[in-house]
Chain A
Amino acid sequence: MNYSQLIWLYRYLWFAPHLLLLLVAAVMFRRKLHKQYPIFFSYLIFEFLQFCVLYSMSYLKAPIGVYVKADLLDRIGGAVLHFGMIQELFAVALMFLGPVKNQMTRILRWVTIALIVLGSLFGWGLCYSSLKPGAFPTYWSIEPLQVAICALLFLVFLWHRFLGIRMPTLSFGIALGMGLVASVDLLLFALKMFIVFGSGMKYHLVNMAAYQLAVLIWLYFALVPEHIDTRSHASLPQLRKQAAELGRVAQL
Chain B
Amino acid sequence: MILLIILASAVCAFLLFLALQVRQYSRPVEKLPQLIPIDLEAFAALTDPEEETFLQGNLPTREFRLVQRGRIRALKPYLSAFSHNASALIVAGQSARYHADAQVAASGVEIIQRAVRLKIWCGLSLVRLNSAIVFPALSSPSSEIARPYRLLTGMALDLTDKSAI
Contact = CB atoms under 8 A, between A and B. Distances in A.
Nearest to A143: B7
B159 interface: yes
**Which of B21, B43, B90 has the most CB atoms of chain A within a 10 A radius of its CB?**
B21
A126 B85 contact: no
Given A125-B3, A186-B11, A243-B160, A100 B40 contact: no
Contacts of B21: 157, 172, 176
B123 to A, nearest CB: 7
A183 B123 CA distance: 29
A168 to B, nearest CB: 11
Interface stretch (B12-20, B50-58, B127-135): B12-20
Size bracket, chain B contacts: 35 or more
Size bracket, chain A contacts: 35 or more
Contacts of B29: 229, 231
A163 interface: yes
Interface in A165-181: 165-167, 172, 176, 179-180
Contact of A246 (B12, B25, B89): B89
A1 B164 CA distance: 70
B104 A236 contact: yes
B79 to A, nearest CB: 12
Interface in B64-122: 82, 85-99, 101, 103-104, 107-109, 111-120
20 contacts: A129-B3, A162-B123, A164-B86, A176-B18, A183-B15, A191-B8, A194-B4, A231-B32, A231-B95, A234-B108, A239-B108, A239-B111, A243-B156, A243-B159, A243-B162, A246-B85, A246-B160, A249-B156, A250-B153, A252-B149
Interface of B: 1-5, 7-8, 10-12, 14-15, 17-18, 21-22, 25, 29, 31-32, 35, 38, 40, 43-44, 82, 85-99, 101, 103-104, 107-109, 111-120, 123, 149-150, 152-153, 155-157, 159-160, 162-164
Given A98-B113, A186-B11, 7 more contacts: A97-B117, A236-B107, A242-B111, A246-B111, A246-B114, A246-B115, A250-B157
